[in-house]
Structure 1
Amino acid sequence: MPISPNQGSSAGGTAVVITGTNLANASAVRFGANLGTITANTPTQINVTSPAGHGVVGVTVTTPGGTSNPLSYFYLEPPAKFALSPTSGVEAGGNSVTITGSNLNGATSVTFGANAGTITANNSGSIVVTVPAGTGSVPVTVVTPGGSTNGLSYEYVVAPTVATIDPDSGPTAGGTGVTITGTGLTTTSSVTFGGTPASFVVISPTEVSATTPAGAAGAVDVVVTTTGGSATLEDGFTYVAGPGI
């Protein structure tokens, strides 16, 4: 007497099909001590909705002819999320995040708001997923055979822009204090002049203060990188060679 599926959420509500012989006029299908809800019944098949339960239980069918031997049914506990890392990223998506928790194995989907991510690794304690494109702050929902869970959020960060740098020139020895203006600069993680990292301080979402590193004479690109991506001001700063005598 097969049962399909032989597992489902501990909350119950799983549609289960039991096949066999002499199943007509079934009066009860028990999952352990709990009664399932029979939704259809023929001499060779019973459709039943599982009740709530935990662990591994025996499923028995009772008809006017008696009670069957038990079949094993496995209750799956719902997933629980503990942490999400990182908690933010670019609006274009494509970055990888790790969700840690418990009962996460067999995850069928991870959604960021209304959009599904791509699961790349999964075990009972963690899920690695590629983030889809999106905007704003969205809930993260994990669905497994045991149920679903949310409660964590992910922040899509707008891509930065760089409009001006003042002053826009200085000596090749570096050490020039400059103000970079733009948008989306709050999460700035690096500022480079011609590829060389500079020290910096975030003043506001529209302003970053930086000190130029040393560089060769000539114009160089200034690149500001944030959680939302990178913005480049081409030939934004010009290194000026000192006098020679």
Structure 2
Amino acid sequence: MPISPNQGSTGGGTTVTITGTNLSGTTAVNFGSKSATSVTQVSPTQVTAVSPSGTGTVGVTLTTPGGTSNPVPFFYVGAPFKSSLGATSGPLAGGNTISLNGTGLSTATSVSFGGVTATPTVSSDSSLTVTVPAGAAAGPVGVSVTTAGGTNNGLTYTYVDVPTITTVAPTSGPTSGGTAVTITGTNLDSTDSVTFGGSPAPFSVINATTLSAVTPPGTAGAVDVVVTNPAGSDTEVGAFTYIAGPGI
């Protein structure tokens, strides 16, 4: 007498299909010593029942006017606990793979990002990976994991859109570097790096539309300014010009 699924939440509520023979007239389905909260006769060979709350492993039995069946094991699973995300932000287009750590993840069937679900790859009871689906809009969304034990929320993932550069001011400075530059644009609050001619520059995020950076030393001439965040990069070609100092 197989049952499917053979595991469910400790809180109960799992609909289980029991398949066998001579099941007509089923009067009761028990999970250990507890009665199922609902029993439905589907056919002479199939019955569905909703599990009550419980813990550990219990025997499921079915009773008809002809007697009670042999017990079949059913495993109660606790709700998952999520402790951390391997990455807490990524591109609005999705497609990046991140890890999720916690406990009770071995039976995970889906991970939801703001209501959009993805199917995870389970590595162990404490770890899984999932490819992030595309987001509806830039910004934070709740992350939930569904397992045989239930659904757990509590983590946040932030969708990030590609940055854009509108202005760089001032547009020139000495080759020795050290020029304070203001960069304006969009989606700048998640900036990972700023480069001038390929050289990284120290920077501070002012807000979503403004960055403050200090030019690194460079070679005389115009160089590209590049701003990068988890969603990608934007390049302002020849936006800053290094000027050589006078020589005598």
Scaled by the length of structure 1, what TM-score is found?
A: 0.88
CA contact (8 A) 1:26 1:41 kept: no
CA contact (8 A) 1:106 1:122 kept: no
Shift of 1:43: 4.5
CA distance in structure 1 between the partners assigned to 2:118 and 2:23 by the alignment: 43
Look up the match of 1:226.
229
Cα RMSD (Å): 2.2
Shift of 1:45: 3.5
| Matching of residues 125-204 of structure 1 within 5 Å | 125-134=126-135, 135=137, 136-204=139-207
**Secondary structure in 2 matching 1:149:** strand
Look up the match of 1:15.
15
CA distance in structure 2 between the partners assigned to 1:191 and 1:219 by the alignment: 16
Report Cα offsets for 1:98-143 as digits up to 9, x if no partner: 2222211122111211322352443211222221221222221211
Residue 202 to residue 8, structure 1, CA distance change in 2 (3 Å): closer
CA contact (8 A) 1:91 1:157 kept: yes
Look up the match of 1:119.
120
Look up the match of 1:77.
78
User: Kindly, what percent of the aligned residue pairs are identical?
Assistant: 58
Q: Which amino acid aligns with 2:173?
A: G
CA contact (8 A) 1:39 1:49 kept: no
**Secondary structure in 2 matching 1:208:** strand
Unaligned runs of 5+ in 1: none
Report Cα offsets for 1:23-59 as digits up to 9, x if no partner: 3323221110111232006544333222222211011
CA distance in structure 2 between the partners assigned to 1:222 and 1:176 by the alignment: 14
Runs of 4+ off more than 4 Å: none
**Secondary structure in 2 matching 1:128:** strand
**Secondary structure in 2 matching 1:186:** coil
Q: Which moved more, 1:70-79 or 1:196-205?
A: 196-205
CA distance in structure 1 between the partners assigned to 2:197 and 2:48 by the alignment: 69
CA contact (8 A) 1:23 1:41 kept: no
CA distance in structure 2 between the partners assigned to 1:164 and 1:43 by the alignment: 75
Look up the match of 1:205.
208
Report Cα offsets for 1:148-181 as digits up to 9, x if no partner: 2222222222322211112211222222222222
Shift of 1:242: 3.3
Unaligned runs of 5+ in 2: none
Shift of 1:211: 1.9
Scaled by the length of structure 2, what TM-score is found?
A: 0.87
